[in-house]
Structures are given as structure tokens and as C-alpha cells.
Structure 1
Amino acid sequence: MNKEILDIKLRFPISETLKKKFPFIPEYLYLTGLFLYIASQLVQGTMIAYRLIPGSLAYHIQLLAIFIVIVKAVLFDDYSLKDWSILILLGIVLWSSGNNAVVLDIFYYYIFIVSAKGIDFKKIATLFFITITLGLIITFALAKTGLISGLTYTRPNGAMRYALGTIYPSDLAARCFCLMLAYALIKNFKLCVPEYIGMISVTIWVYVVTNTKVDLILMSLFIIVAIFYKKAVLALKLLTPRGIAIILGGTVAIIILMSYLYTPGNKVMLTINNALSGRLHLSHIAFDRYNVTPLGQYIEQHGFGGGTKAVLNYFYIDISYIRVLMMFGAIVFITMVLFLLYLSYSFMNSQAYSLEIVLIFVALSALVDQHMWELSFNIIFLATFANLQTFSIRRTDYTL
């Protein structure tokens, strides 16, 4: 097959006709699918799915959402035959890996990444912010009225933690942190004093309600970076894309090595483990019990989310990097790391510094939570093929 054939753009006559008459259709299809997926996944992370609606309903809505964005991509996105060959091959790898792990979140997220081509990323961030904010307000109201359980947990030191209708306090804290990132993106970090005060107030409220230390640190650090945004951009320029890539890659390598080599007798590791609420220890258990596979495996886990009953033999992999490596396999893990580095380089190359800062904070949060590849928490990866004109000082077209 020669190069001319591989470079042919796949277009359907009906697609061109529809696009000329109704140019808004591709964007509407994508945003509709994205809304349905984010909303249904949010419901799965609340007690609504445990008390008010069947859990299978949210899953079927997600399948409908995926179908809608696939239709958008096939009919309206001008990928070439070579592009589609690469995308489908990678999709097969991700599907196989997710099927082995019995978790298809990465594969579904990938479909939304591919289908986001040409969509204004600011509209994606706005849709995310509105959907999650309204969803949380509805969840809080349902918990307050007693229609769903609010769930209350107690730390060993006696500190109370409230989930307010979500399945666990740390999930609520993570959602609020992600909303803060999305809001900063919508405003492109052009924030005023009342907005900073609002972000500080939300951070304090989240800590008082959820008693989650790691999100308190992340949210506080993010507010500082937002306040000193121009200096943060200058720091990024001084680091250069290569320097940032080394730091990101090195951080991932360090957390993997520390988890693998963790011993409670090492005071430094023990201190870090305590700071991460025991996450190094739990990740080490994963390495101890399972081998790293090429394309993933099912790992039985028992967490506290969704109930108040005591959990015997608690075991849950919270660190996203360890989760991907152990559950989805070495091939997907390496692909994920390369993707992170590529996306960071792309943002820096197009001078989309606001996106780069959010990407770095997503990478940091992945050190402590498992939500990196859940669309109702993190949308930054959708910027891969999306329209970044709003964020880029110098516009760059993203191609395979």
C-alpha cells in the first residue's frame, strides 16, 4: 500500500452535505455524548447509583454516549487511512488490556480523546464544570433530604469525614480539586481577587468536610500557582519542555521504585508512606502479590467506598501510575507515560501554558488518587486533538 493511499482522508458524501448545511452538528454530537458520559459516571460515584437508580442504567447511558461520539468521529473527522489504522490498533490494545483488567475506563476515555478533534476545548471544560457542579449540588440535596445516604467516616484519631452523598470523602475532595482546575482553565487563569477568595474558601470547606490532607495540599499549591501565574509560566519556560519531561518521567519512575522497594523499616519511606496515607504500603502489596503483565490482569480489591460496614482485608491501589501498571499491563503503562510526555511537549510547544500547568497538577494528583483516567474527574487529556486556539499563544495543529 503506497503512501498516497495511506494519506487519503476518509470522508462520506453525506458528511460533507450535513457539515455545510448544519456546521454545528459535529460539536453538538460530541458535547452531547460527553455530557451523557460525564453525568452517568458521576452518578456511579454517588449513592444515587446505590439507592435510586439501577447501576446498569448509568452503564448503558455511557455506551450510548460512546456510540454518539464514534458517529461524530467517523462522519466528520478528517483522519487519514494511516491515522485510522494507528488509532484502531491502539484502541484494540487498550480494549484488550481493559478487558483483562475488567475495567474499560481507559479505553472509553481514549474514544473521547480521538473524537474530540476540532472541538473547542474551552467548551469541553465549561461543560465539565457545569455538569459536575450541578451533579454535586443535586447529590448534596438528596443526601440532606435523606433520599440517599450521606455516609460518614471516622479516622483513627477521631476526626469525622463526610461524603455528602458521594461514595467516599476523598472522592468528594478529588472532584472539588478537579472543578478548581476546570474553572481556572475556563478563565485561562485570568482570575480576580473574589475568585481567589472563593477558591480559598472552597479549599477550607473541602478540608473541614472531608479531612483529606493530600487534596488540601494540592488545592493550596494550585491556588499559589494561580496567584503567581506569570511567574509560574516563566518557570516553565526556564525549565524547557525537555526539563519538564525529565521531571515528569522521573517522578513516575520514583513512585514506581519506591512502591516496589518499600519497607516499613526505612524511616524515609515510612514518612513518605504516612504522608500519602499508606499508599506506598498498599502499592507494595500489589507488587508482592502480582507480577507485571504485558496486557493487564484482574486484581481483586476491597475499599471503603459506598458503605459504612467494616472492610476486612482492606486493599486498594490508589496511585494511578501503579494502578495502570499492575491492572492494565506494561504496554499500556509505557504508552501512558509516553503520552503524558508528548502532551506536555505539545502544550509547551504551542505555548498553552495554562493547559501545561493543569496537566502537571493532574500528574501530581495521580500520585495519590486513582481517578486519572476517569472523565468525570479529569478532562485534560481531551485536549490532545481538540481546538486549543483559546489557550495557545501560538496555535499548533495536532496531528498523528
Structure 2
Amino acid sequence: MKLSYSLPINLKIRPFSFGINLEFIYLILFAGFAALNLLSGTPLPFGLIFRVYRYIAIVGIFVIFFLKNRYSFTKASLIVIIAVVFFIVANVTQKSTLIVSGLFVAAAGITKFEKIVKTSLIATVPSLLFVIACSKVGIIPDHLFMHEGHVAHSLGFSYYSTFAYIALFCMISYLYLRGSKISWIEILTMTGLNYVVYKLSTTRLAFYIFLLVLGLFLMLIKFNMFKDINKSFYKMLAILGYPITCIITIWASLNYSVNSPMWRKINEISANRLVLSHKAFIMYSPKIFGQYIEMHGNGYGDNGAYFYIDSGYVYSVLGYGILFTGILIIAYSFMTWAACKKNDKELLLWLLAIMAFSIINNVWVNVTYNSILLAFLPMIQKLKKEESAVVKLCRKVLSIK
């Protein structure tokens, strides 16, 4: 007699996919980075936590690179170039946060840019409100400044303009996500919020930049006055916009003269940023891989002198270096061109805001509350997929007899 016995258990092992999980890990790591980066810039005790978290984020992103083992040669090359250049610049400028930012840029292809923007808002807005609340109840100081005859509040940060700039890019991010679906109630609410931020901070730049962006948003998106921006003329302007703006900014900084009424007026409009940029070029010379620049805000330097390079273009050339600046301009120019090609007006407005804002402020490398740089690799992937789909469709059509 032949005896047989089988366990009444049917085990099915499903193949485990890392795709969704790696995306989730990336977004969680980025949320923590965005929140802690903001909180560590205040008197709240998050400095040590942020320093430790940076190492956790670095390890986490390398795990993502290791587990996602399918890369094209082009994508792998871009990832290596971005990571290496960010590492070199971070080491030279003594800004370790740049290493983590570079890795987030290099790994951004793991997810969609829209999810990154949502994550940025989810992390930034509550953190900002928490800092403001702490300053109002006395946990941290609300520094007061006299700015153009008005009292300006820092609301927990070291300077009065910081929270205004964070609020500006949170609102631009929100406009990007909402697009044509945004309601008039939302638009009016954001306009009112922009005015409240202006009254508290007295920061005209953030106030007017948002009004300009909102005006263009209404024209291009809400009223759809320019239905198609995928035209050769617009794409040519998109490619030239960033390099021309950068060149003009540097030229103005080099040629500033206190004896010229025109330059004095421009310097006055820029709140003395032009003369400080001119001084920066006297003190430092551009280098390929950048250099450490010692800056003193609010007159806390060793000699009590205020020296701060606000211009993103000027600081990038002198601090980050010529190579890094060139890569940034190429990346931003490509994204602006791609926004026109895709007729993505929301993204185009964001990029135009950065183009103008970087003349007198340095935020184009800050990927936490201004996450636009993280769109670079996802945009390349999206264009390649669409191009492949078009090629396949053409081949299919041609094969039909």
C-alpha cells in the first residue's frame, strides 16, 4: 500500500516589487528633510536632529539607488554627474546640506514631480505654522526690525524676510498643483494671505513677485489667453532666458559705479543688493569649483560690517563655482524649454518666478520649499517615454498594409 500525505496549505509567494516602496521611502525621506531644514533655521532645538537626519537621508537614498537596479546609460550618467558635482560644491563651500539636496535631485526620477510638490507642502506648511505659533506664545523670539519706517516681524526666524519667502513659494507650489481647477475663493484667499505676509514682514519683493505670478496665472491658465506655448519663438526664449538673465545680473554687478545716478537708483530699488554684489566681485574671483564665502548678516561680522550676497546668480558664480552654475543654468533652461514643449503653463510660471527672483535672492538650489529643481530628472524621463510611445505608434502605423 502506498501512503501519501500533503499539507492542506496552499502557499503562493507573490513577486515583491520595490517600485512603490522605494517611491514611498523617497517621499518620506524628503518630507523629513524639508521639515527639519526649516525648523533647524530657528532657535528651536532641531539642529542636532537635522545633522543626524542628513546621514539617515544619505543612507536611505543610496539604498534606493541600490535596490532600483535598472538604469539606462543616460540616466546613470546624469545621476553620477549630479551627485558628484553637488558633493564637490558642498565640500568647497562648507554647506553639507547641498550633498543631501544633490542626492534628492539625483534620485527624483523614482517618483512623479507632482508628488514631490505635495510632499514639500505637507512638510513645509505645518512646520512654518509651528514656528510662527512658537514665536507668538514666547517659546522663541519674534525679532523686530525697523524696515523703511515700519516694524517688520521675523516670526521665529533670524530675519524678517525668511518666512515671507517660504510663504511665497508655498503659494506658487499650490498654484502649480491646482492649475485651472483653482477657484476664485482660493485665489482671493491667497491674495489676502499675501497681503498679511507683506504687512507682517514688509518684504516688498515677495509681495510683488506673487502678484506678478498670480497675474500671469490668470492670463495664461485661468483665462487661457495664450492657448499654445509650444512654439519655436517661446521655446527659443525659454532656452535663452536663464543665461541672459544671469549674464545681465553679473554684468550689472561688475559695472556698478557709485558715481552713476542710474546705478545708484538701481541699487536703491534693489535695497543695496547691487552694491553688495559689486563688493563681492572685488573680494572674490570666480573659480571652477567654487569657494567658501564668509558672509555676515544683520551686522554680526567680526568687524561689525554687514556683508551678504543675496543674488542667486552672483552667489552661484562666486560660491558654487562656474561649473556648478553652468549645470544649474542648463538644467533650468531645459526645464523651461520642456515646459513650453509640453504646454505646461503652471510649471513655466514657476520657472519664470525663479528666473526673476534669483536676480536678488538665492533660492534656486533650495529644494525644500522650492522643489522645482527636483523636476529635472522626472521631466527627462517623461519626455523619453512619450518619445518612445510616438516612435512605437509610427512603426505600428507604417507596418499596417
TM range (shorter): 0.7 to 0.9
Alignment partner of 1:43 is 2:35: no
Counterparts of 2:132 and 2:298 in 1: how far apart (Å)?
20
Q: Assess if the C-alpha contact under 8 Å between 2:93 and 2:319 holds in 1.
A: yes
Alignment partner of 1:364 is 2:356: yes
Match of 1:18 among 16, 19, 22: 16
Q: Assess if the C-alpha contact under 8 Å between 1:320 and 1:366 holds in 2.
A: yes
The equivalent of 1:263 in structure 2 is: 257
**1:146-161 equivalences in 2 (<5 Å):** 146-155=138-147, 157-161=148-152
* Residue-by-residue CA offset, 1:118-174 (whole Å, 9 max, x unaligned): 41222211111121110111111111111111111112x431100111221111110
Compute the displacement of 1:395 (Å).
5.0
Alignment partner of 1:99 is 2:65: no
Compute the displacement of 1:81 (Å).
4.7
What SS does the aligned partner of 1:304 have? Answer: coil
The equivalent of 1:247 in structure 2 is: 241
Provide structure 2 residue ranges, at least 5 long, that are not aligned to the other structure: 1-13, 389-401
How many residues matched?
371
Alignment partner of 1:223 is 2:217: no
**1:65–1:17: structure 2 CA closer, same or farther, 3 Å change rule?**
farther
Provide structure 1 residue ranges, at least 5 long, that are not aligned to the other structure: 1-15
Compute the displacement of 1:323 (Å).
0.8
- Once the two structures are overlaid, the 10-residue window that deviates more, 337-346 or 86-95, is 86-95
Match of 1:162 among 128, 145, 153: 153
Letter in 1 for 2:79: L
Counterparts of 1:43 and 1:205 in 2: how far apart (Å)?
22
* Residue-by-residue CA offset, 1:12-66 (whole Å, 9 max, x unaligned): xxxx9531xx642011111011011101111122231xxx34x232122122123
**1:23–1:243: structure 2 CA closer, same or farther, 3 Å change rule?**
closer
The equivalent of 2:278 in structure 1 is: 284
Match of 1:206 among 194, 197, 214: 197
The equivalent of 1:181 in structure 2 is: 172
Counterparts of 1:260 and 1:304 in 2: how far apart (Å)?
24
**1:299-314 equivalences in 2 (<5 Å):** 299-304=293-298, 312-314=304-306
Match of 1:78 among 53, 70, 75: 70
The equivalent of 2:10 in structure 1 is: none
The equivalent of 1:87 in structure 2 is: 79
Name the % identity: 22
**1:268–1:160: structure 2 CA closer, same or farther, 3 Å change rule?**
same
Q: Assess if the C-alpha contact under 8 Å between 2:229 and 2:343 holds in 1.
A: no
Counterparts of 2:28 and 2:288 in 1: how far apart (Å)?
35
Q: Assess if the C-alpha contact under 8 Å between 2:230 and 2:342 holds in 1.
A: no
Q: Assess if the C-alpha contact under 8 Å between 1:371 and 1:377 holds in 2.
A: no
Q: Assess if the C-alpha contact under 8 Å between 2:93 and 2:293 holds in 1.
A: yes
The equivalent of 2:395 in structure 1 is: none
Counterparts of 2:226 and 2:309 in 1: how far apart (Å)?
33
Q: Assess if the C-alpha contact under 8 Å between 1:112 and 1:382 holds in 2.
A: yes
**1:306-325 equivalences in 2 (<5 Å):** 312-325=304-317
Q: Assess if the C-alpha contact under 8 Å between 1:173 and 1:215 holds in 2.
A: yes
**1:322–1:340: structure 2 CA closer, same or farther, 3 Å change rule?**
same
**1:104–1:321: structure 2 CA closer, same or farther, 3 Å change rule?**
farther
Q: Assess if the C-alpha contact under 8 Å between 1:256 and 1:322 holds in 2.
A: yes
Compute the displacement of 1:237 (Å).
4.5
**1:255–1:205: structure 2 CA closer, same or farther, 3 Å change rule?**
same
Counterparts of 2:198 and 2:38 in 1: how far apart (Å)?
21
Compute the displacement of 1:349 (Å).
2.1
Match of 1:65 among 49, 57, 71: 57
Q: Assess if the C-alpha contact under 8 Å between 1:118 and 1:387 holds in 2.
A: no
Q: Assess if the C-alpha contact under 8 Å between 1:119 and 1:387 holds in 2.
A: no
Q: Assess if the C-alpha contact under 8 Å between 1:133 and 1:179 holds in 2.
A: yes
The equivalent of 2:372 in structure 1 is: 380
Alignment partner of 1:126 is 2:118: yes
Match of 2:182 among 168, 181, 191: 191
Letter in 2 for 1:327: G
Compute the displacement of 1:105 (Å).
4.1
**1:209–1:311: structure 2 CA closer, same or farther, 3 Å change rule?**
farther
Letter in 1 for 2:378: A
Alignment partner of 1:135 is 2:135: no
When Rg is computed on C-alpha atoms for both structures, the one with the higher figure is 2
- Once the two structures are overlaid, the 10-residue window that deviates more, 242-251 or 103-112, is 103-112
Counterparts of 1:188 and 1:77 in 2: how far apart (Å)?
35
Counterparts of 2:278 and 2:72 in 1: how far apart (Å)?
44
Counterparts of 1:47 and 1:300 in 2: how far apart (Å)?
22
**1:222–1:396: structure 2 CA closer, same or farther, 3 Å change rule?**
farther
Alignment TM-score, normalising by the size of structure 2: 0.85
Alignment TM-score, normalising by the size of structure 1: 0.85
What SS does the aligned partner of 1:153 have? Answer: strand
Letter in 2 for 1:170: S
